[in-house]
Amino acid sequence: MSRPVRAALYARVSTSNHGQDVGLQLEELRQVAAQRGWTVAEEFVDAGISGARTQRPALDRMLAAAREGRVDVVAIWKLDRLARSVAHLLEIADSLNAWGVGLVSVRDAHVDTTSPAGRFALQILGAVAELERSLVRERVIAGVRRAQAAGKHCGRPRVELDLRPAVAMLDQGHGLKTIAKALGVSRATLRRRLEEAGAWPKLVAPA
């Protein structure tokens, strides 16, 4: 008789309040494991950790178990519990596939890399997400260009800077680096403002 499939259950919540409960995820994952006849090898829980972090204590332990051949499938509640970016999600899925470990998301229909259809569904999901990101990026760029054409300032707020102390320090022979440090701004910002005001480069009057 073949041995039962060994499952790693992975759950994550970014906060322990606001209605988030890792127990709800684990309960559903255990039910799915029982329905499929899996043996739960270990449960891995990252509580109070953002999904944007690619390195998390429980996630790292789970991947180590998969790499070492201690589990056959990783079950998650939803894909965003595992990764928040498509790139990270596909990186994890590719690693699991290379180690011969499946990935099943119980709340994302058809995402089950233990089957050909499930692997295809994950690839389609990744492609759609990447397309959406590209469209959003294009819309943002177009919006910035329209705003710039209308004479609106885009980007970080302009730093308010009184140039009178800077000009006085220049007259005393201080360099830009020293002046910028004293005023609490970057050297590049100080130089740009001085150039805009016509106070840089400092011209030396003929003797």
Q: What is the pLDDT of residue 134?
A: 73
Q: What is the pLDDT of residue 199?
A: 79
DSSP-assigned beta bridge partners for residue 105: 76
Domain that holds residue 35: 6-129
Same domain for 36 and 85? yes
Same domain for 171 and 119? no
Q: What is the pLDDT of residue 153?
A: 60
Pairing of strands 73-76, 102-105: parallel
Which among 59, 68, 70 has a CA at the least distance from the CA of 12?
A: 59
Distance (Å, whole) CA 29 – CA 25: 6
Same domain for 78 and 177? no
Residue type, 113: T
Q: What is the pLDDT of residue 33?
A: 95
For the segment 33-61, what is each residue's pLDDT rounded down to a tens digit? 999 999 999 999 999 888 788 889 999 99
Enzyme catalytic residues = 14
Q: What is the pLDDT of residue 206?
A: 42
pTM above 0.85, yes or no: no
Q: How many domains does the chain have?
A: 2
Q: What is the pLDDT of residue 204?
A: 43
Q: 41 — alpha (psi -120 to 50), left (phi > 0) or beta?
A: alpha
Q: Which residues of the chain have pLDDT under 70?
A: 1, 16-20, 125-126, 128-133, 153-160, 202-207
The domain boundary, picked from 129, 146, 172, lies at 129
Whether 206 maps to a domain, the answer reads no
Which residue is associated with the tokens 């988030």? 20
- Residue 27 belongs to a domain with what CATH number? 3.40.50.1390
Whether 86 maps to a domain, the answer reads yes
Same domain for 168 and 71? no
The domain boundary, picked from 76, 111, 129, lies at 129
Q: What is the pLDDT of residue 159?
A: 62
